[in-house]
Amino acid sequence: MNANDNYFGKVIYQYTSEQAEEDGILFDITKLNDEWKKGLFNYVTTNLMSKGYLDEKGSINLPNLLDLLNQANLIVKIKSNYFHDSNTFYAGQIELPSGERQEIFIEQNETGKFTVLLPEDH
């Protein structure tokens, strides 16, 4: 196999995270703070962002977003045996800003970082 092949054969089409960001499907959190480029996550789906991580004007609610990232980080930490057992996919429950419980997926993207998303965004 060469670099353009995968288990199922040659890739016919690839939709990148950058394209999804341009289409308004993903939000690049690293654009908010350059230091976040060192972290596990670089994207959150806009569907998840609409669950209380944006204020009434559509601006980022930074405290709520930080809470989301902390909860996602805790899911990865626990499910990866304190970062000893790496995987490309994690799932767990978070508390949304509304107080509701929500399942989220945390999936590695082509950049090597992770996207935080709702199950229906998968």
pLDDT in tens, 40-74: 999 999 999 999 999 888 899 999 999 999 999 99
The domain limits of the chain are 16-121
**Which of the two residues, 3 and 41, has the higher pLDDT score?**
41
Cβ distance 76 to 70 under 8 Å?
no
Cα–Cα distance measured from residue 105 to residue 119, given in angstroms and rounded to the nearest whole number: 6
pLDDT in tens, 67-101: 999 999 999 999 999 999 999 999 999 999 999 99
Cα–Cα distance measured from residue 60 to residue 24, given in angstroms and rounded to the nearest whole number: 15
**Can you say whether residue 107 is alpha, beta or left, with left for phi > 0 and alpha for psi between -120 and 50 degrees?**
beta
Six-digit token string for 7: 């288990």
Q: What is the pLDDT of residue 101?
A: 98
What is the 8-class DSSP label of residue 25?
S
The CA-atom distances, in angstroms, between 63 and each of 58, 66, 70, 110 are 14, 5, 11, 28
Mean pLDDT for the chain overall: 93
pTM of the model: 0.89
Q: b/e map of 24-36 (b: 16 or more CB within 10 Å)?
A: ebbbebbeeeeeb
